[in-house]
């Protein structure tokens, strides 16, 4: 790979990240603080620290909101904390939850339940929130929730299926955070990392109605032949663990807005690609499937473009999966990158840059 190609890949990566960064996407969407009540900020996911920083700066500095009217809690994966001013910042496990995930969810639920009708609960969501907020359904332990997560991650199930199971084993996911905050007004601002930007899939939808059911969750467990603790099977058979559905009054004062989408990152990347004189080959933002199989298909396409003498950048996004049969480590991005290198014969004419929301391939 030439230095010019490497530089282009770096610029694509930086441009895509900037296009979805909270600093540029969040301020114009932040709601006005309540006239009389308190503003309670609850943030979860890998961007929780950055989103909380932006929100605190907006309310405390730009609007001059008194710090005493602001409360909050933010949780991000280990190593992703940011220096917040009012909100408590917690680092927790991802993709497998840990004790800090329990503490973060308990704190978020307590703050939500403390909200009154005059208060505003602002929920800031980003990828990773499902693992960062863990509140096991009655009768389940953290160890059992961890076992479920590991089994789902190894199974090859897609993110929608994974979160359908998670939502029915939780006291915070699947609309239950909105239920805890009722009758307060709830506004959710989310950075999407899932194909289709479905609100009830992002972070397992803690503030929106859930369209999946206990029966759906049980069917997913059966489809992938998941070996789960007996307590999990009991929980999935308990009607008390059904999630709140569309039309439930707890969502009457709830609003959901996307702050950033994979499409925003791709639009920025396309401008950079075309500006550099490359053909823009976009394979879509909703790719799913086994990471190694998708990588092999992309390698074939890259070789075809090389054979045709085209200078092209192949871009794609989505939520790939890895079905683990041994004791390997890593996730879909690593699997994709390594499989692509093998399938392309590690050709020096093919460069690769991957991120959570996008893959950039230059030939």
Model pLDDT, residue 227: 95
Tokens describing residue 215: 């029966």
Model pLDDT, residue 358: 46
- pLDDT tens per residue across span 152-169: 988 989 899 999 999 999
d(CA 128, CA 204) in angstroms, rounded, equals: 10
d(CA 62, CA 181) in angstroms, rounded, equals: 27
pLDDT < 50: residue spans in the chain:
355-359, 362-363
* Closest to 145 measured CA to CA, from 164, 110, 170: 170
Model pLDDT, residue 328: 73
Model pLDDT, residue 279: 92
Tokens describing residue 187: 């506004």
d(CA 132, CA 76) in angstroms, rounded, equals: 6
Q: Quick one: angle between helices 291-307 and 332-343, nearest 10?
A: 40
Model pLDDT, residue 348: 52
User: In the chain, what are the domains?
Assistant: 31-260 (3.40.50.10180), 263-362 (3.40.1480.10)
Model pLDDT, residue 318: 84
Torsion of CA 162, 165, 167, 168, to 10 degrees: 180
d(CA 198, CA 180) in angstroms, rounded, equals: 22
d(CA 239, CA 119) in angstroms, rounded, equals: 31
- pLDDT tens per residue across span 13-57: 899 999 999 999 999 999 999 999 999 999 999 999 999 999 999
Model pLDDT, residue 194: 86
Task: Tell me the Ramachandran region of residue 318: left when phi exceeds 0, alpha when psi lies from -120 to 50, beta otherwise.
Answer: left
Model pLDDT, residue 352: 55
Beta bridge partners of 321: 290
Cβ neighbours around 231 below 10 Å, total: 17
All residues at 6 or more sequence positions from 118 whose CB lies less than 8 Å from its CB, including other chains: 34, 35, 36, 37, 184
């Amino acid at each position: 790979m030439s230095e010019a190609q490497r530089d282009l890949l770096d610029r694509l990566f930086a441009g895509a990240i900037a296009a979805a960064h909270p600093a540029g996407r969040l301020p114009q969407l932040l709601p006005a603080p309540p006239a009389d009540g308190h503003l309670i900020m609850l943030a979860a996911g890998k961007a929780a620290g950055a989103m909380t920083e932006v929100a605190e700066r907006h309310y405390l500095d730009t609007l001059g909101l008194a710090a005493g009217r602001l409360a909050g809690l933010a949780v991000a994966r280990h190593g992703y904390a940011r220096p917040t001013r009012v909100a408590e910042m917690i680092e927790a496990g991802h993709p497998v939850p840990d004790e800090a995930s329990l503490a973060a969810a308990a704190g978020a639920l307590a703050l939500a339940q403390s909200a009154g009708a005059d208060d505003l609960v602002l929920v800031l969501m980003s990828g990773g929130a499902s693992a960062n907020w863990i509140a096991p359904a009655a009768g389940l332990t953290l160890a059992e929730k961890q076992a479920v997560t590991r089994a789902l991650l190894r199974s090859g199930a897609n993110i929608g299926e994974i979160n359908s199971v998670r939502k029915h084993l939780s006291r915070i996911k699947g609309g239950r955070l909105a239920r805890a905050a009722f009758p307060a007004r709830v506004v959710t601002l989310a950075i999407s990392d899932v194909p289709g930007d479905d609100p009830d899939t992002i972070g397992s939808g803690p503030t929106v109605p859930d369209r999946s059911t206990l029966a759906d969750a049980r069917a997913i467990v059966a489809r992938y032949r998941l070996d789960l603790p007996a307590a999990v099977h009991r929980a999935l058979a308990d009607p008390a663990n059904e999630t709140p559905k569309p039309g439930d009054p707890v969502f009457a004062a709830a609003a959901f807005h996307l702050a950033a989408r994979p499409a925003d990152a791709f639009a920025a990347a396309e401008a950079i690609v075309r500006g550099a004189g490359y053909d823009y080959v976009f394979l879509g933002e909703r790719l799913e499937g086994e990471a190694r199989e998708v990588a092999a298909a992309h390698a074939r396409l890259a070789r075809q473009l090389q054979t045709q003498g085209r200078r092209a950048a192949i871009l794609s996004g989505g939520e790939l999966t890895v079905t683990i049969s041994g004791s390997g480590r890593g996730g879909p991005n690593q699997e994709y990158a390594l499989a692509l290198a093998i399938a392309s014969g590690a050709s020096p004419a093919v460069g690769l840059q991957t991120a959570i929301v996008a893959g950039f391939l230059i030939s």
